[in-house]
Amino acid sequence: MHSHSIKDLWDLPELKIIATTKINHQIFIDVMPIKSKQACPICAFENTTRRGIGYVRKVRHLEAFGCPVYLNLPAIRMSCTACFAHFVWAYECVAPKKRYTKAFEATLPKQAIGATITHTSRVANTPATTVARIVRSWKMEEATRVQKTCQKKALACHNLVLGIDDFAIRKGHTYNTGLHDLRGGTFLDVIPGRRIEELHAYFNTQSTLCALKPVAIVMDLAKAYHTFAKKMYPAAIRIADRYHVNRYVTEALQAVRKSVQKQLTPFSKKDLKQHFRILGKRRDQLKNDEKNILHRLLQYAEILHQVYSWKEAFIEWYDCSSTYELAKKGFGRWLAQGTTIKHPAVESCLLTMRNWQEEICNYHQLRFTNAAVEGKNNLIKALQRRHFFTRNPQHYKETILLECNAEWIQYGS
């Protein structure tokens, strides 16, 4: 292979390749600068003089042909004839006093996203401390840039739809709140806490988030989120997330199932308990053998058949209501259907549905759910397990913003 082709292969435009050797599955490249002179870093005078080579730097470069590549860079001593300063030749491909080229360092963050520092260190054959230092330095800059890009995109959106949901740092003790752009598919910010006073305290310091003008906000039935959204974005439609609303109906169905189980024979009780998941599935998603099992289960008690039909009618209401006006009428009929079922679990569910009737029906004004938000929450859970959490809150937030907005990351060349 010609020398200029080798130079193009390793992307070294400023260097001239003198020799290439392979020793013990490692490639060593002897190079020299193409230019004969370099401007003085102090006075910028270009008429400098070479004073020989003090030593040779061994610098790690990009891998090639399955082997690690090292550049043998001569440390050329220079002196300026104008200011009489002495300095060492500065290479563009590597920073001063560094053992890795800029191109090699730029590959480490891409390997670290979605993995651990230990795994990246093993794959890159680089010390973990070096990988951690490079990746953390990159995350500080890139997370800020990605967050500003996503928030700027949300500000420019005329039909912005926000999604709000909490995720656990320590389940049952500490929580954070995620703010999402559902239309753009981006994660806008991590808000510490989930109580209304914590939300207000954080938003008071974030002028960009206060300037957002969403047409709708999707969230669960947490009263704090609805109170906060009503005060912060009064013009936005508040939509109760379909997944969380449907879960109330499913939990009522399972509560009825448990009460029915207590009155059955041991064999029937075991049969009903064993196939409880079939009751929670949509009828149109059941397989043929599951339909046969469902038919057998519903014959154990009339009230179980009534609650199951009530649950299916709710799914049909979500799917088939074509307009907001028809949805409100259909929702009233569904509530009336539920009142005929005399069971405490169903009555408790109906009470919740009546209290949140407006927010539930608003789904039919703008059909958005927090499905993407739940996906990001699962990604955050996996991140926390993979990293065994992290003690640095800022580093934790930067990692979340980058991994949840992976398509917006720009890796160095």
Beta-bridge partner residues of 162? 181, 217
Q: Which of 108, 207, 85, 107 is nearest to 148 (CA)?
A: 207
Domain annotation covers residue 251:
yes
Last residue of a domain, one of 348, 364, 380: 364
Rounded to two decimals, the pTM is 0.82
Instruction: Specify the pLDDT at position 147.
Output: 93
CA dihedral for 100, 54, 49, 32, sign (positive or negative): negative
The three-point CA angle 209-212-215 to 5° equals 135
Judge whether 317 and 334 are in contact, CB under 8 Å: yes
Look up residue 343 and give its DSSP letter.
Answer: -
State the total domains in the chain.
Answer: 2
The three-point CA angle 111-113-119 to 5° equals 55
Q: Can you give the length of the chain in residues? A: 413
Q: Could you tell me the residue range of the domain that residue 294 belongs to? A: 242-364
Domain annotation covers residue 12:
yes
> Strand runs (DSSP E) across 105-248, as ranges?
161-170, 174-181, 186-192, 216-219, 237-240
Last residue of a domain, one of 321, 336, 364: 364
3 state SS of 342: coil
Token digits for 252? 């009522």
Phi-psi region of 125 (alpha: psi -120 to 50; beta: other; left: phi over 0): left
Instruction: Specify the pLDDT at position 112.
Output: 86
Instruction: Specify the pLDDT at position 148.
Output: 93
Q: How far apart are CA 330 and CA 219, in angstroms?
A: 22
Phi-psi region of 127 (alpha: psi -120 to 50; beta: other; left: phi over 0): beta
Instruction: Specify the pLDDT at position 412.
Output: 67
Q: Buried b vs exposed e over 281-316: b needs ≥16 C-beta within 10 Å?
A: eeeeeeeeeeeebbeebbebbebbebbbebbeebbe
Domain annotation covers residue 379:
no
Last residue of a domain, one of 99, 120, 143: 99
Q: Which residues contact residue 238 at a Cβ distance below 8 angstroms, ignoring those fewer than 6 apart?
A: 216, 217, 219, 226, 229, 230, 359, 362
Instruction: Specify the pLDDT at position 10.
Output: 66
DSSP per-residue letters across 276-311: HHHHHS-GGG--HHHHHHHHHHTTS-HHHHHHHHHH
Token digits for 376? 């990001």
Beta-bridge partner residues of 70? 28, 60
Judge whether 179 and 189 are in contact, CB under 8 Å: yes
Instruction: Specify the pLDDT at position 63.
Output: 85
Domain annotation covers residue 213:
no
Instruction: Specify the pLDDT at position 216.
Output: 95
Q: Which of 215, 213, 191, 195 is nearest to 203 (CA)?
A: 191
Domain annotation covers residue 168:
no
Cα Rg, the chain, nearest whole Å:
31
Domain annotation covers residue 134:
no
Q: Which residues contact residue 93 at a Cβ distance below 8 angstroms, ignoring those fewer than 6 apart?
A: 12, 14, 15, 71, 101, 102, 103
Domain annotation covers residue 215:
no
Domain annotation covers residue 165:
no
| Residue position matching structure tokens 């002897």 | 30
Instruction: Specify the pLDDT at position 110.
Output: 87
Token digits for 406? 């992976």
Alpha-carbon separation of residue 200 from 210, 218, 225, 280, 401 (angstroms): 10, 18, 11, 38, 21
Other CB atoms within a 10 A radius of the CB of residue 59 amount to 20
pLDDT along the chain (413 residues), means of 10: 59 83 88 87 85 89 85 90 87 88 88 86 88 90 92 92 89 87 93 90 90 93 92 93 93 93 90 90 90 91 93 93 92 93 92 94 92 91 78 85 89 67
